[in-house]
Structure 1
Amino acid sequence: MEYAPIKELIAFSDFEKLDIRVGTITAVSEVEKSKKLMKLTVDFGDHVRSILAGIKQERENPFEIEGKQALFVVNLPEQKMAGEVSQGMLFDIGYADKLTPCLAMPETPMPNGSRAG
Structure 2
Amino acid sequence: METAPVKPPITIDDLDKLDIRVGRITRVDDVEGSKKLIKMTVGFGGFTRTILSGMKEERDDCKAELEGRQALFVVNMAPRKMAGEVSEGMIYDIGYEDGILPALAVPEREVPDGARLG
Partner of 1:82: 83
Would you say the 8 A contact 1:23–1:42 is kept in 2? yes
Structure 2 CA distance, aligned partners of 1:12 and 1:40? Answer: 30
Cα deviation for residue 75 of structure 1 reads 0.5
Q: Matches of 2:33 and 2:8 in 1, distance apart?
A: 36
Superposed displacement of residue 16, structure 1: 0.8
Runs of 4+ in structure 1 off by over 4 angstroms are none
Q: CA deviation at 1:110?
A: 0.6
Distance (Å, rounded) in 2 between the aligned partners of 1:109 and 1:24: 10
- In 2, the alpha carbon distance for the partners of 1:87 and 1:2 equals 32
Aligned residue in 2 for 1:105 = 106
Tell me which residue corresponds to 2:62.
62
**Other-structure match for 2:42:** 42
Any unmatched runs of 5+ in structure 2?
none
The 2-side partners of 1:56 and 1:99 are apart by: 15
Q: Is the 8 A contact 1:22 1:112 kept in 2?
A: yes
Following TM superposition, by how much is the alpha carbon of 1:58 offset from its aligned partner in structure 2, in angstroms? 1.2
CA deviations over 1:42-75 (Å, ceiling 9, x no partner)? 0000011100011011112212111000000000
Number of the residue aligned with 1:116: 117
SS at match of 1:14: helix
- Per-residue deviation, residues 50-106 of structure 1 (Å, max 9, x unmatched): 000110111122121110000000000001100101010011111011111111000
Q: Report which of the two has the higher share of helix.
A: 2
1:116 CA drift (Å): 0.5
- Which one-letter code corresponds to 1:49 in the other structure? R
Q: Distance in 1 between matches of 2:33 and 2:85?
A: 9
In structure 1, what residue type is equivalent to 2:67? E
- Cα RMSD (Å) of the superposition? 0.7
Q: Give aligned pairs, total.
A: 117
TM-score (norm 2): 0.96
- Distance (whole Å) between structure 2 residues aligned to residue 7 and residue 80 of structure 1: 27
Q: Does 1:71 align with 2:72?
A: yes
Give 1:18's aligned amino acid: L
